[in-house]
Amino acid sequence: MTSNSWAAIFGGGMPMDFGKSWRGKRILGDGKTWRGFFSGILFGTLVGFAEMFLVDAGLIRYSPTHWGFGATYLDALPLLVVLSSGALLGDAIESFGKRRLGMERGQKAPILDQYDFFLGAMLLSFIFYFNWTIENLFNNYNWIGLILLLILIPLLHRGFNIIGYKMGKKNVPW
């Protein structure tokens, strides 16, 4: 969930497309860097652990890994890495699409901007943890949670980006 915010904080340096273009447009653009990609995965995973810790401490009720995944932090590690990587990949794929449409870095892409990381995380968890994803995200019990999440995502996304913008980490507040 927070992976992409970390990318914005720690990103910079070598772009993931190494500055290369395809058909006259940048492949991904300067907004997608290796440092942002890997720090997003790393810190996204650490936040996942922090959530598990908070659940264990009784301070919050849910973290994705508590939906019938492993009991220990080590059990949850692969899932957290998959979710975080998916989020950053979704973000990069979105940039790829934006560049193909001729959109500049940071230009607004409604809906995609908000859901890219969620869709990416879902896609990768479908690939790696198909049964877990079906059982825990799309079972009857979690439908309400899923709908709440879909409403919450744009709001949180907006909030994080305004903070990032004020911190001078993002060029635009979306």
Options 77-85, 100-108, 123-131, 146-154: segment touching ligand CTP (CB under 6 A) = 100-108
Q: Does residue 37 belong to the site contacting ligand CTP (CB under 6 A)? A: yes
- Residue 82 CB partners (closer than 8 Å, separation 6+): 121, 124, 125, 128, 129
Options 8-16, 59-67, 129-137, 145-153: segment touching ligand CTP (CB under 6 A) = 8-16
- Tokens 């439908």 correspond to 143
Distance of CA 25 to the CA centre of its chain: 25
Options 41-49, 77-85, 91-99, 149-157: segment touching ligand CTP (CB under 6 A) = 91-99
How far apart (Å, rounded) are the C-alpha atoms in residues 88 and 82?
10
Q: Does residue 90 belong to the site contacting ligand CTP (CB under 6 A)? A: no
Q: Does residue 31 belong to the site contacting ligand CTP (CB under 6 A)? A: yes
Q: Is the dihedral of CA 43, 17, 113, 120 positive or negative?
A: negative
Which residue's CB is nearer to ligand CTP, number 48 or number 120? 120
Q: Is-contact 89 120, C-beta < 8 A?
A: yes
Q: Does residue 106 belong to the site contacting ligand CTP (CB under 6 A)? A: yes
How far apart (Å, rounded) are the C-alpha atoms in residues 29 and 144?
37
Query: Contact positions toward ligand CTP, by CB under 6 A?
Result: 7-8, 11-12, 29, 31-33, 36-37, 88, 91-92, 95, 98, 105-107, 170
